[in-house]
Amino acid sequence: MRILALDTALAACSAAIWCAGRVAARRRDERGQAHAEALLPMIAGVLKEAGIGYRDLDALAVTIGPGSFTGLRIGLATARGLSLALGKPIIGVGTLEAVAEMAPFDGSVLAVLDARRGEVYAQIFGPMHQPLSAPQALTAAAAAAAVAAAPPGGVVIGSGAARVWPFI
């Protein structure tokens, strides 16, 4: 299966090709803004690096939030346009789900992203990264309280972790 994965939910803009059970190519640009300018050249670059064309794709994956409204809109519109042009399905991936998948073990995970303005986006995941809560915008103190309610022995992961730690 060949999947083009796009992430424009936060400050970084990224594209990757998943092929034959591994990441065949990836590009990431920490630009903060201007995802629209970077995304299509980035897609062309990962396709070239992976040695495949648009028609060789089986599906597209894109982050669906939470995250920056403008960033999400750019990623979703790009994925939708490619999906319609190629006749390929889109797989929506929650931003916090993607962060939780990076956790190094299968215990409980609090995935936390900095939402700015004193808040974080947070979601709790249990063993095998199963969601135990819905994604929420919370204060750092409220996210820390969610950690206390999670199964013991978990980790806090993501760009908002430093905001939560002082309250744990």
Predicted model pTM:
0.90
**pLDDT tens string 108-130:** 889 999 998 889 999 999 888 89
Count of helix runs (H) and strand runs (E) in the chain: 5, 9
**pLDDT tens string 48-106:** 999 999 999 999 999 999 999 999 999 999 999 999 999 999 999 999 999 999 888 77
**Measured distance CA(160)–CA(98) in Å, rounded:** 14
Residue 168 parent element (H or E):
none
Total Cβ atoms within 10 A of residue 69: 10
Reduced to 3 states (helix: H, G, I; strand: E, B; else coil), residue 8 is coil
